[in-house]
Structure 1
Amino acid sequence: MKRFGHEFKEHHVTVPWDYSNPDSGTFDVFAREIIPPGGENYPALVYMQGGPGFPAERPAAGLGGLLKAGLTRYRWILLDQRGTGRSHRIDELSDAADFDKLHLLRQDNIVRDAERVREHLGLKKWSLYGQSFGGFIITAYLSMFPESIERAFLTGGLPTTRLGADDLYRATYTKLRARESQFFREIPWAQQRIEEIIDHLDNHEETVPTGERLSSRRFRTIGIELGRGAGFDTLAFLLEEPFRTVRGEKRLRSDFLQDVGQRVTFQGGPLYAAIHESIYGGVVDSAPTNWAAHRVREEFDEFAEDGTWLTGEHIYPWQFDEDPALRPLKAAAEKLAQHPWESSPYDLEVLKDAPAIAAAAVYLDDIFVPFEESMHTAHLYRDLRPHVTNKYQHNGVRVDGEAIFTELLRLADDH
């Protein structure tokens, strides 16, 4: 099929759910290949999506800057990670309560699936691109199959290799506190407006379009927007006039509730909430993550249950009660939170000798993937060339993907 002047091909590869137990059943991993004109023999570049729990990019409105930049030298392989998109999407209607599947969705098994796709394509080696969690997958890939990788490109995706979940969330809350302080300085009325909305939600019943009551703690999760490039302005416009008066009673506007409702639901990606903390399991020990973000928040007065600051990329157990999209996953998510992890997704001894050339965009002010942890891991790679910048937030590739990827190509080429 031709789209946007490029050839699109589809690949389906049957893989086991559990590589240690072949009798556990199988599913088909899906990958979409994009070949530029004359690029049939270009090397392959695999797109490792951020998340976890989301499928690969769907270029429905044309090819964005990142994809365009890659297609100058590569043919893209857009891989739907297991449990997402067309690789057996898991949601409230599909295996939602199946812990036996949820605990198999981490970096290591995504890597094993990718290896099956590489073999299916008849490739000796390929290169990898990973945004955010996609970089976590790349770090695991280089730990498991280093000889399969030619080059690796990471944006906002160098994971911690020395912190457990508790300490990692201490770091992200600290980063968020600094970022939110800056937001309140630049938008000086925002803090008071947030507190006004919290007080209103604690004392009045307001419902989002899906019908459930909006709690103040759920409203506070819109702070994830602070980690995006235009986040300050997006939140400022959202908050500037949230109330109206109806028959003498102060109420939240319907368009405000619609906007917030879209921000606080996981209908589009419930798997993200269910498995988010599991990607940090086993990094330093086998202890369960045990809702680390929920426990650690109480160490920060601003973000604690009775605090008033917006929270960020953090998942809380009560969301599985308040969000209809998450309720079917509650039992399995709880079991996953108590699951001990026997090993790290990363083998640092293998990583330090992995022959691939790597280049990574590292965002100085990233509130999702702390800068200090990224740079520590960068030095564990045999050959990683960092592009450190404070020009972008975590979603830099959405803002200027072509420029960022072009710079990573230059770094990788610079011998």
Structure 2
Amino acid sequence: MTLRTTTSRHLGLTIKEHRLSVPWDHDNPSETFDLFARELIPAGGETLPVMVYFQGGPGFPAPRPDSIQGVIAEALRHYRVILLDQRGTGRSARIDDRNLRGDLLPLLRQEFIVRDAELLREALALKQWALYGQSFGGFCITTYQSLFPESIESAYLTGGLPALFDSADQLYETTFEKLRRRHLEFYRQYPWIEDRIREVCHHLDCSDEHLPTGERLSSRRLRTLGINLGRGTGFHALAYLFEQPFSVSQGEKRLDSAFLQAVGQQVSFAGAPLYAAIHESIYGGIVNASAPTNWAAHRVRETIPGFEEDADPKAKEPFYLTGEHIFPWQFEEDPALRPFKPSAEALAQHPWPASPYDAEALRQHAATSAAAIYVDDIFVPFEQSMATAQTYKDLRPYITNIYQHDGIRADGAAIFARLRTLIDDH
């Protein structure tokens, strides 16, 4: 496997673009693809140690910075930074509706991403490197620490310590409960918003409203806007969205075209269909080896009052939006996901032979790490993150309720600097 590298200069940096042929299935290496990684080298930093950046997701490529700021800017003070396009994304054999192969979807999990990265480390002739991971990127780091701890100099995680001891069902029970509490705070800060959300959902249950892309908007699809509640500015974004959703046309109350335009942009997976298709698979096999996830979020929601798919917005019972949850009907209602429906259904029934994590390896061998753990995180719950932090051989936590899951978007440079201090001060 020959490494191919080209070099250019942009943004005041030397930029190396690496391509390495790696197998889709590391245990059956008959078919390969080109793994892509972009290395950023600051001026005079040719001999700095290397840090590889694991993007959140899953299903998203590495950042394409058009300016140097946030986590990357702070990291470049200490490291050469490698932005890795995880398999199936970006320039690493991007999978979309035009080249979709369902047999590849089970090969996109964290354990496969990590083995790709390890081959890249070897090709770059690096004895060790540092790791950074946001959200799912931290899941990848925890897998890396389980499989190849000797390759890691240190690791930094933000909102990305995965549950080691919970099944997909148990995890979703926790995330729905976290989301319920977040709703109550949202309703407290904006006392009018619950009635407005109920009003819009009831209208959608009784009327035909169509998004600019042509398909009918259902109330259950609109409720997926609750993913905003896990973001730092989510309360305000939702309040602004719902402050004037209706207009009157020819004497008839209708959803405003500007509202439908904004909703359509948020509920469509046109920009990231792979995220929806493989999202739940990252929780497979963690507790129940060989058991499929079987649409865990879809099943669990029905057990929690207020989140049921057919919850009545006009009833007195609780009524909530949903969060970072993927449901099977989205592959029917979202035009961008329809081509993925058969593959997503097959993946939901896929038996996972083992967990991507090894708790004993983490206890015995994990390299020194620091993690930002967000108390109110509704995507990666605090309690499970802390249990994983205590399993690591040497993990220094930065526990905060200042940020939501997207803390690095709000103050990435400061968070990374804090994690660096935790590593350096011990």
Which range, TM-score by smaller chain? Answer: over 0.9
Relative to structure 1, the CA distance from residue 355 to residue 108 in structure 2 (aligned partners, 3 Å threshold; closer, same or farther) is closer
Deviation at 1:340, TM superposition (A): 1.0
Deviation at 1:117, TM superposition (A): 1.0
Alignment match, 1:289: 293
SS in 2 for 1:153: strand
Alignment match, 1:120: 123
> Matches of 1:162 and 1:221 in 2, distance apart?
27
> Matches of 2:310 and 2:297 in 1, distance apart?
15
Deviation at 1:64, TM superposition (A): 2.1
Q: Is the counterpart of residue 254 in structure 1 residue 265 in structure 2?
A: no
- Pick one of 234, 239, 245 that aligns with 1:231: 234
Q: Is the counterpart of residue 93 in structure 1 residue 94 in structure 2?
A: no
Q: TM-score, normalised by structure 2?
A: 0.95
Alignment match, 2:248: 245
Within 5 Å, give how 1:270-281 maps onto structure 2: 270-281=273-284
> Matches of 1:273 and 1:65 in 2, distance apart?
27
SS in 1 for 2:410: helix
Q: Is the counterpart of residue 66 in structure 1 residue 66 in structure 2?
A: no
SS in 2 for 1:77: strand
- Structure 1 residues without counterparts, runs of 5 or longer: none
Deviation at 1:253, TM superposition (A): 1.1
SS in 1 for 2:227: helix
Alignment match, 1:388: 399
> Matches of 1:355 and 1:276 in 2, distance apart?
26
Q: Is the counterpart of residue 361 in structure 1 residue 367 in structure 2?
A: no
Deviation at 1:355, TM superposition (A): 4.7
- Residues 223-275 of structure 1, C-alpha deviations (whole Å, 9 max, x = no match): 00000000000000000001111110111111111111011111111111111
One-letter amino acid matched to 1:324: P
SS in 2 for 1:301: coil
Q: Is the counterpart of residue 12 in structure 1 residue 23 in structure 2?
A: no
Worse-superposed segment, 310-319 or 299-308: 299-308
Within 5 Å, give how 1:13-412 maps onto structure 2: 13-23=20-30, 25-60=31-66, 62-95=67-100, 98-286=101-289, 287-307=291-311, 308-412=319-423
One-letter amino acid matched to 2:154: R
> Matches of 1:254 and 1:155 in 2, distance apart?
38
SS in 2 for 1:68: helix
8 Å Cα contact 2:110/2:282 also seen in 1 = yes
The CA RMSD over aligned residues, in Å, is: 0.8
SS in 2 for 1:379: helix
One-letter amino acid matched to 2:346: K
- Residues 179-235 of structure 1, C-alpha deviations (whole Å, 9 max, x = no match): 011000100100000011001111111111111111110000000000000000000
SS in 2 for 1:78: strand
> Matches of 1:101 and 1:148 in 2, distance apart?
27
- Structure 2 residues without counterparts, runs of 5 or longer: 1-7, 312-318
> Matches of 2:29 and 2:13 in 1, distance apart?
37
Deviation at 1:3, TM superposition (A): 1.9
> Matches of 1:156 and 1:315 in 2, distance apart?
19
One-letter amino acid matched to 1:317: P
Worse-superposed segment, 63-72 or 347-356: 347-356
> Matches of 1:230 and 1:142 in 2, distance apart?
33
SS in 2 for 1:277: helix
> Matches of 2:170 and 2:242 in 1, distance apart?
32
> Matches of 2:68 and 2:120 in 1, distance apart?
23
Deviation at 1:306, TM superposition (A): 2.2
- Residues 6-27 of structure 1, C-alpha deviations (whole Å, 9 max, x = no match): 111100110011111112x110
Aligned residues: 411
One-letter amino acid matched to 2:381: P
Q: Among the aligned pairs, what percent are the same residue? A: 63
SS in 1 for 2:365: coil
8 Å Cα contact 2:366/2:392 also seen in 1 = no
Q: Which runs of 4+ in 1 moved over 3 A?
A: none
- Residues 308-334 of structure 1, C-alpha deviations (whole Å, 9 max, x = no match): 311000000000000111111111111
> Matches of 2:309 and 2:58 in 1, distance apart?
25
SS in 1 for 2:107: coil
One-letter amino acid matched to 1:74: Y
> Matches of 2:124 and 2:359 in 1, distance apart?
29
